[in-house]
């Protein structure tokens, strides 16, 4: 079974982002970029399935500018076998990304697609579900546990009330939650090795997918700031008194 795993190049999660002065978008000039943390978990999960002899090949895929090559190299350093970059400048929306993945999954004959549960830039949490819909495959979202047995995969899902385990017929789409695994640290030898692994760049147009955005971004603002700095109280008694005065406690 071939596993296709999606990775997105996003602003590093430690960066405090700013809206552009004209309010048109988020400032992305000279900002540190990194692999989306959920995607790193997805790559690790796919590589572990290969190491366990349950997958034959792990193919990392990204859609974005030429610089997304760095992100794919990170996935290769974790242990993906090869990578495909679908070159596209400009906005990518979950629906168009899902359509691109569908084209690639069909082309490669993938038996599973692993994605992160959401990207930390647009916070959409849609792509995996959309891809499953387009493929007509079952979906295992917010996965924190995976067990492959033959033509089935059991997925433990993190849901609002606790955990739910679903059995899905393969092929299927899985989206990784943070607790699925702890991605390995890419060692220097594995980073060097990753530089020699195949990375194909293809043009989005060659897949015949329409990437026109369905949403128009009208503007971006920073959220209203809270009154900065707390009133530091001396002790618990003072806190209880304050909360009673503010009528929060009755």
Q: Over the range 237-248, which residues count as b (16 or more CB within 10 Å of their CB) and which as e?
A: eeeeeeeeeeee
The span from the CA of 230 to the CA of 234, in Å, is 12
Determine if 214 is a binding residue for other proteins (CB under 8 A): yes
Cβ distance 114 to 5 under 8 Å?
yes
Provide the 3-class DSSP secondary structure of residue 120. coil
Nearer to other proteins, 30 or 228 (CB): 228
Between residues 185 and 245, which has the closer beta carbon with respect to other proteins?
245
CB of 249 to other proteins, least distance (A): 7
Specify the 3-state DSSP secondary structure of 127. Answer: helix
| Contact flag: residue 21 with other proteins (CB under 8 A) | no
Between 52 and 248, name the residue whose CB sits nearer to other proteins.
248
CB of 250 to other proteins, least distance (A): 10
**Minimum CB distance to other proteins, residue 108 (Å):** 20
Q: Which of residues 92-111 bind other proteins (CB under 8 A)?
A: 93-95, 98
The SS3 call for residue 95 is helix
Q: Contact 173/115 with Cβ under 8 angstroms?
A: yes
Kindly identify the residues of this chain, within the stretch 33-62, that bind other proteins according to CB under 8 A.
Answer: none
Q: Which residues fall within 8 angstroms of residue 196, CB to CB, at 6 or more apart?
A: none
Per-residue binding string, other proteins, 118-157, x by CB under 8 A, is x-xxxxxxxxxxxxxxx-xxxxxxx-x---------x-xx
Give the C-alpha separation, 184 to 197, whole Å: 18
d(CA 118, CA 131): 13
List the interface residues with other proteins, window 150-179 (CB under 8 A). 154, 156-169, 172, 177-179
Least separation, in Å, of the C-beta of 80 and other proteins? Answer: 23
Candidates 59-67, 71-79, 192-200, 239-247; binding stretch for other proteins (CB under 8 A) = 239-247
- Residue 196 or 226: the one with the smaller Cβ distance to other proteins is 226
Q: Which of 101, 69, 100, 70 is nearest to 85 (CA)?
A: 69
Shorter beta-carbon distance to other proteins: residue 169 or 201:
169
Residues of this chain, 177-206, that bind other proteins according to CB under 8 A: 177-179
Regarding 31 and contact with other proteins (CB under 8 A), the answer is no
CA–CA distance, 32 with 15 (Å, rounded to integer): 7
Phi and psi angles of residue 200, each rounded to the nearest 5 degrees, phi first: -95, 130
The single residue among 1, 34, 103, 220 that binds other proteins, judged by CB under 8 A, is: 220
């Amino acid at each position: 079974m071939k596993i296709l795993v999606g990775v997105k190049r996003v602003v590093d999660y430690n960066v405090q982002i700013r809206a552009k002065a004209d309010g048109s978008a988020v400032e992305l000039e000279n900002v540190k970029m990194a692999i989306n943390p959920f995607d790193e978990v997805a790559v690790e999960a796919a590589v572990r399935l290969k190491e366990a002899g349950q997958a034959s090949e792990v193919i990392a895929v990204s859609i974005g500018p030429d610089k997304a090559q760095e992100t794919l190299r990170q996935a290769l350093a974790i242990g993906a076998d090869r990578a495909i970059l679908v070159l596209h400048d400009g906005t990518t929306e979950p629906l168009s990304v899902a359509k691109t993945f569908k084209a690639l999954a069909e082309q490669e004959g993938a038996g599973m697609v692993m994605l992160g549960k959401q990207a930390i830039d647009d916070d959409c949490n849609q792509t995996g579900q959309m891809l499953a819909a387009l493929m007509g495959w079952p979906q295992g979202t917010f996965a924190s546990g995976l067990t492959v047995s033959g033509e089935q995969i059991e997925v433990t899902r993190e849901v609002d009330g606790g955990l739910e385990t679903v059995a899905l017929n393969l092929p299927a789409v899985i989206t990784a939650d943070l607790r699925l695994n702890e991605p390995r640290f890419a060692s220097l030898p594995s980073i060097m090795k990753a530089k020699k692994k195949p990375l194909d760049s293809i043009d989005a147009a060659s897949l015949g997918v329409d990437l026109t955005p369905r949403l128009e971004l009208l503007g971006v603002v920073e959220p209203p700031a809270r009154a900065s700095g707390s009133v530091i109280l001396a002790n618990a008694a003072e806190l209880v008194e304050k909360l009673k005065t503010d009528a929060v406690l009755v």
